[in-house]
Chain A
Amino acid sequence: MSKPLKQIHLAAHFPGVNNTTVWSDPAAGSHIEFSSFAHFARTAERAKFDFLFLAEGLRLREQGGKIYDLDVVGRPDTFTVLAALAAVTDRLGLTGTINSTFNEPYEVARQFASLDHLSGGRSAWNVVTSWDAFTGENFRRGGFLPQEERYSRAKEFLATAHELFDSWHGDEILADQATGTFLRDARAGAFVHKGQHFDIQGRFNVPRSPQGRPVIFQAGDSDEGREFAAADADAIFSRYATLKEGQAFYTDVKSRLAKYGRRPEELLILPAATFVLGDTDEEAAELAREVRRQQVSGATAIKHLEFVWNRDLSAYDPEGPLPDVDPVVAEEHISRGRAQVRMYRDPVAIAREWRELAEANKWSIRDLVINTGNRQTFIGSPATVARTINEFVQADASDGFILVPHITPGGLDPFADQVVPLLQEQGVFRADYEGTTLRDHLGLAHPDAARRTGAPAERAAS
């Protein structure tokens, strides 16, 4: 007997503040006005997506000591937008990226519990960490966290937030108007946490929310990040959207679950994926090349080369050859507020490799950046893209995808209209929502499920 078909999970990432987003296109709208977010969310809900995803950055990026001005700059507050989106959608999950370094557990737990109440159980939290003094300059504590402590703080932050969510069980509010008893128990919300990073106690003041706890996402790729996800997350926002890399990541992370007593289906792997659709595969390929050129202007190509060279390259012609000077290897980096520059661990070797590539292919600086940068994940006719996505999921390269359109806010519409119906026809994507909460959509158990099915007498006696 063949394996039963996996159901695909799909999510929509609001276009981000990076060069994937093409703001120069005539169809590109506001990245700030609520109407853009409402349009995007309604499209995702019309297509029965699992959730919408918002990224976050708490300091505007800089390069060479100046605010980076070539990409979309600026975004609204994550929680506030998600709460408003709860008013214009009914079922769509609402996932927010919230930093565990420049927040405190009590406040974040109250915001997520509130969002979960206000959305009827649709909230999710992508837990990210940072340590840099650059971002810290916007906050009371400044840049206080040694890099090696960021995951220990994140882990303790999440554990503490869970203690706060769990400080209400869900049966405390009687609100009995006749007897005058509002709370069953004066200790509702009581918590004490004493740890390395947090020493707090008192009463949490938001009652148990519909999902109990928000769904937890993790996005880090380091060994520590993967371990954090295997121990504590419900889903991973990963960057491996090709078949082979996806399968390797999927196997690696899912194999880590057993030691935490978890089953493979308790952690979903959802890579970010971009797409370009055309009437035919050839048309899509041509469009994809055009989009890449829009994404990498000459000026952007120079700035991206600076990520590796770590020096001012503004004197170079983007249509000319690569610099013959070597990268500057230093602790200080020309680009600040950007995670991706940390990927270039051996810039001198990369520069050498890129020079060879450029020479062999007769590439200019801009050609090189276009060709070595991220090409779109899925390119083709709707039928090709639907087939490829399904193949990836069935081959365990992922459990679905978080789609990142390159046009705001309409970039998701063609996917919703042309690809989703094909996936529905193949029986691998829901034709309608079955449940009301994000946990329902993702097939995740309610955190109280074990207790609910357990002996009720035990609870009453405790």
Chain B
Amino acid sequence: MSPTPSAHLHLAVALDGTGWHPASWREPVARPRDLFTAGYWADQITEAERGLLDFVTIEDGLGPQSSRRYERDERTDQVRGRLDAVLIASRVAPLTRHIGLVPTVVATHTEPFHISKAIATLDYVSTGRAGLRVRISARPDEAAHFGRRTIRRADAPDTPDAREAISELFDEAADYVEVVRRLWDSWEDDAEIRDAATGRFIDRDKLHYIDFQGRFFSVKGPSITPRPPQGQPLVTALAHQTVPYRLVARQADIGYVTPHDADQARAIVAEIRAEQQAAGRAGEPLHVFGDLVVLLDDSEAAARARLDRLDTLAGEPYRSDTRVFTGTASQLADLLDELASGGLTGFRLRPAVTGHDLPRVTGDLVPELQRRRRFRTAYDATTLRGHLGLTRPANRYATAAA
């Protein structure tokens, strides 16, 4: 189900290097040499917090960025290299107070046990502001960085074989999130008792083996980290078609989707709701956010001209999986309203140039939405779930008996 409808939209910003346009790093505001410093990330995320945004996501991958989908590109004219997103989020957590922190994690080559405790710890470090964005890796070159499995090169991504291989990676990701979530619940909230009389630090009956056995891995549990402040930190995923919609419907609190208009948004939301019903989660709140690349300026012409300039620098027109918006904050507010009428409850904006478009989101778009009474004027919750109107979930292992 859709979370309780609200007049307010939810807003997140997706951070990726100097921005989503491949030539973004060449803009004077871009600070490309600072990308590998804590200060750069602290500045972007505190800017997003000034705009009262719900959260930021931080992109990540287990190989160099590439302009090609399934392989390295060996290019030297774009940003290559990045820091671990979970650690960026954690490094910035003590410097912020309200904004949610949602790093990307790659399910395909990592350990659900490690990620579960890492995100739980991010939740402790940020006192309840952690989430994750789960993704798969279908790149054979990234598989070769681990050497534990072979991922065949998808020369023809639309063949049945390739589709089946991708589908399997998403099934594995669903199991992965299941393990991560069970581990978050593997300690009941009141498991730590510090009972001096009996000498027991914990009540071990309130710790639970998760005993997960799946096709891809088995994990015993319990976690080494107690249940995090939010109980269940936020799980999010980007989805473009049925297979990933199913992952969103089975396991996520937020799905990011890429409709280009309200009709597409309506169709995607309907498909996700149907999958949610099929997965037996119809009663659970699930946000569907629209993803948009944004170039914001004082006039539509200025934004358009900036995109042209960036495209010229890049040597080719920018292609995105999302709609690419160029225009003013007021025009963007109109577009968000229109898309929201298709059933979206929020948006994840991808700044084309972080140094330019992020301050425009916080400084122009947010005030515009506030004037329209479509966005908060102050944070009224202390946790990320709170910002999104999600309650703290009950522990799946807790028994009713006291």
Contact = CB atoms under 8 A, between A and B. Distances in A.
A106 B62 contact: yes
A188 interface: yes
Given A88-B94, A114-B87, A175-B25, 17 more contacts: A33-B124, A38-B94, A71-B201, A77-B117, A77-B121, A80-B86, A80-B122, A86-B38, A86-B91, A87-B93, A87-B94, A103-B111, A107-B146, A139-B113, A185-B76, A205-B61, A205-B82
A414 interface: no
Contact of B224 (A75, A183, A184, A185): A75
B33 interface: yes
A374 B26 CA distance: 60
A177 B25 contact: yes
A260 B151 CA distance: 40
Nearest to B37: A117
Nearest to B78: A182
B357 interface: no
Interface stretch (B2-10, B49-57, B202-210): B202-210
A2 B218 CA distance: 62
21 contacts: A38-B94, A60-B224, A69-B202, A73-B207, A76-B225, A77-B117, A79-B87, A83-B88, A84-B94, A102-B111, A104-B109, A104-B146, A113-B83, A118-B91, A142-B218, A175-B25, A175-B33, A180-B77, A182-B77, A189-B81, A209-B36
A79 B118 contact: yes
A67 interface: yes
Nearest to A73: B202
B226 interface: yes
Given A24-B196, A87-B92, A67 B224 contact: no
Interface in A181-231: 181-186, 188-189, 198-203, 205-207, 209
Contacts of A106: 62, 109, 145-146
The 10 closest A-B CB pairs, nearest first, are A137-B220, A80-B121, A114-B84, A83-B90, A76-B121, A77-B121, A175-B32, A200-B147, A183-B76, A83-B87
B111 A115 contact: no
A203 B64 contact: yes
- Looking at B37, B42, B90, B113, which has the most chain A CB atoms within 10 Å of its CB? B90
B219 A183 contact: no
Interface of A: 23-24, 32-34, 38, 57-60, 66-67, 69-77, 79-81, 83-84, 86-88, 102-104, 106-107, 110-111, 113-115, 117-120, 137-140, 142, 168, 173, 175, 177, 180-186, 188-189, 198-203, 205-207, 209, 297-300
A73 B313 CA distance: 56
Contacts of B187: 74
Interface residues of B, number: 81
Nearest to A297: B199
A202 B151 CA distance: 14
B209 to A, nearest CB: 9
B147 A74 contact: no
A69 B83 contact: no
A24 B194 contact: yes
Interface in B58-80: 61-65, 72, 74-80
Contacts of A69: 200-204
Given A177-B28, A180-B26, A200-B144, A110 B84 contact: yes
B16 interface: no
A312 to B, nearest CB: 16
B90 A138 contact: no
Contacts of A189: 64, 81
Contacts of A102: 111
A114 B88 contact: yes
B125 interface: yes
Interface in B342-359: none
B291 interface: no
Contacts of B93: 84, 87
A294 to B, nearest CB: 10
A59 to B, nearest CB: 7
Given A74-B187, A177-B26, A107 B124 contact: no
Interface in B27-43: 27-28, 30, 32-33, 36-38, 42
B114 interface: yes
Contacts of A137: 218-220
A64 to B, nearest CB: 12
Interface string B117-156: 1101110110100000000000001101111100000000
Contact of A206 (B83, B110, B121, B200): B83
Contacts of A38: 94
B64 A205 contact: yes
